[in-house]
Amino acid sequence: MSYDLSIQLKNRFSELSHLKDALHKYCEFRELPSNLVFAITLSLDEVITNVISYGYDDHEEHLIIVTLRSGKGVIEISVEDDGKPFNPLEFETPDLKCPIDERPIGGLGIYLVKTYMNELEYKRVGGKNRLMMRKIY
Partner 1 sequence: MNMKVIREDDELTHIKLSGRVDLEGIGDLDLEFTRHTVTRRKPTLVDISDVDYIASIGLRMLVTAAKVLNKFGARLVLLNPHPDVEDVLRTAGFDKVMPIEHDYERALETLKTAA
d(CA 127, CA 57): 15
Closest residue by Cα to residue 133 from 55, 56, 67: 67
Looking at 49, 71, 121, 128, which residue binds partner 1 (CB under 8 A)?
49
Q: How many CB atoms lie within 10 A of CB 20?
A: 13
7 binds partner 1 (CB under 8 A): no
17 binds partner 1 (CB under 8 A): yes
Q: Which residues fall within 8 angstroms of residue 72, CB to CB, at 6 or more apart?
A: none
d(CA 107, CA 113): 11
Q: How far is the CB of 107 from partner 1 (least distance, A)?
A: 9
Looking at 9, 26, 109, 131, which residue binds partner 1 (CB under 8 A)?
109
Which positions lie near partner 1, rule CB under 8 A? 13-14, 16-17, 34-35, 38, 41-42, 45-46, 49, 96-97, 100-101, 103, 105-106, 108-109, 111-112, 115-116
